[in-house]
A = this chain, B = another copy of it.
Amino acid sequence: MKLDIALLAGDGIGPEVIDQAVKVCDAIAAKYKHEISWKPALTGAAAIDAVGEPYPDETHEVCASADAVLFGAIGHPRFDNDPSAKVRPEQGLLKMRQKLGLFANVRPTFTFPSLIDKSPLKRERIEGTDLIILRELTGGVYFGERGRKDDGNTAFDTMTYTRAEIQRLAKKGFEMAMNRSKRLCCVDKANVLESSRLWRETVQAMEKDYPEVEVSYEFVDAVAMRLVQWPKGYDVIITENLFGDILTDEASVISGSMGLMPSASVGEKTKLYEPIHGSYPQAAGKDIANPLATVLSAAMMFEDFGLQEEAEDIRRVVNKSLAEGIVTEDLSEDAKSYKTSEVGDWLAKNV
């Protein structure tokens, strides 16, 4: 297969972890006779510094014409405590999601047997957890009208959804549930929000098209509790953008393997693959960040190209690195740990 992959390293540890994923993908390409052509482009704070814009048009061109996007992380602390900053790295992320039409964020949460004891939760609560949160990514309060009134003393944001947006996301959720254990949970706040009532009404109307799927409806506050109490209770969760933001991050810590959790953001045309850990600025440039989440995101990418064997090969080598202790310091139990780049080299050599 010939693949054009846009490469958006971004900020913080982004460039370092992306480098390792590239090594592993190149090794896979060599082994299975694919041809990957990497198309690097600027994004985030890095792009603001270079061209004054976190998601420049040239970057969009690169992404829109590629077969997929591999993404590092976006965000820089220098913008966080400055409410008046005019340009922010995150705007680039939102613009990218919108312009590429990446309407569904797919966030699996699962446990690695060898890492279970790293979780803040007790083993018996999480062993065997395997859930997917499908977060709507281009609607809701992220993209509604917002602004100030009364001389800046009143601020507002609008949470909006259309039936079509909900259907598009829910369809993906039903399909995923069909391929898994056929349980779907729709998370909303329908006891308060009108947009949540539209979610519930829309999903309820779709139930008849998927008679085998058992659908439940839960309030976001209850789910925030149950994810900690009994994550095994969930299979596929669908939810709107802001609730998804909060719940996916909460879910990511229960497995004890946050540094390993991959994600995909999918649209009608483009798909983007990204580790969930963010830019982690404190570790940037130190060659200590864990590259496995990015490598596993690349595995999701191969899988979506229909290259199942390649994906499995990557997962196998990641498991091998864990079993043999070829890991960065966040995962090493003893004094011996490896640099980000060393882990990448080892993985590439072992595919």
- Tell me, yes or no, whether A296 is within 8 Å of chain B by CB: no
Chain B residue contacts of A224, Cβ below 8 A: 224, 246-247, 249-250
| A156 x B158 contact (CB < 8 A) | yes
Shortest CB–CB separation between residue A87 and chain B, in angstroms?
12
- Tell me, yes or no, whether A33 is within 8 Å of chain B by CB: no
Chain B residue contacts of A192, Cβ below 8 A: 90, 94, 141-142
**Bound CA–CA A224/B142 (angstroms):** 18
27 A-B pairs in the complex with CB atoms less than 8 angstroms apart? A80-B191, A80-B217, A81-B200, A83-B190, A90-B192, A94-B192, A120-B125, A120-B228, A121-B122, A141-B193, A146-B194, A153-B163, A154-B161, A155-B161, A155-B194, A155-B195, A156-B159, A156-B160, A159-B159, A189-B245, A220-B245, A220-B246, A221-B245, A221-B248, A225-B249, A225-B253, A228-B253
**Bound CA–CA A148/B193 (angstroms):** 11
Query: Which 6 interchain pairs have the tightest Cβ spacing?
Result: A155-B198, A224-B250, A146-B194, A221-B249, A83-B197, A155-B195
| A162 x B191 contact (CB < 8 A) | no
**Bound CA–CA A163/B222 (angstroms):** 30
- Tell me, yes or no, whether A265 is within 8 Å of chain B by CB: no
**Bound CA–CA A160/B156 (angstroms):** 4
Chain B residue contacts of A246, Cβ below 8 A: 220-221, 224, 243, 246
- Tell me, yes or no, whether A201 is within 8 Å of chain B by CB: yes
- Tell me, yes or no, whether A334 is within 8 Å of chain B by CB: no
| A159 x B157 contact (CB < 8 A) | yes
- Tell me, yes or no, whether A150 is within 8 Å of chain B by CB: yes
Chain B residue contacts of A144, Cβ below 8 A: 156
- Tell me, yes or no, whether A252 is within 8 Å of chain B by CB: yes
| A155 x B197 contact (CB < 8 A) | yes
- Tell me, yes or no, whether A37 is within 8 Å of chain B by CB: no
Chain B residue contacts of A153, Cβ below 8 A: 162-164
- Tell me, yes or no, whether A181 is within 8 Å of chain B by CB: no
Shortest CB–CB separation between residue A166 and chain B, in angstroms?
9
- Tell me, yes or no, whether A332 is within 8 Å of chain B by CB: no
Given contacts A90-B192, A229-B120, contact A162 B154 (CB under 8 A): yes
Shortest CB–CB separation between residue A38 and chain B, in angstroms?
29
Chain B residue contacts of A162, Cβ below 8 A: 150, 153-154
- Tell me, yes or no, whether A242 is within 8 Å of chain B by CB: yes
- Tell me, yes or no, whether A306 is within 8 Å of chain B by CB: no
**Bound CA–CA A17/B191 (angstroms):** 24
Shortest CB–CB separation between residue A289 and chain B, in angstroms?
17
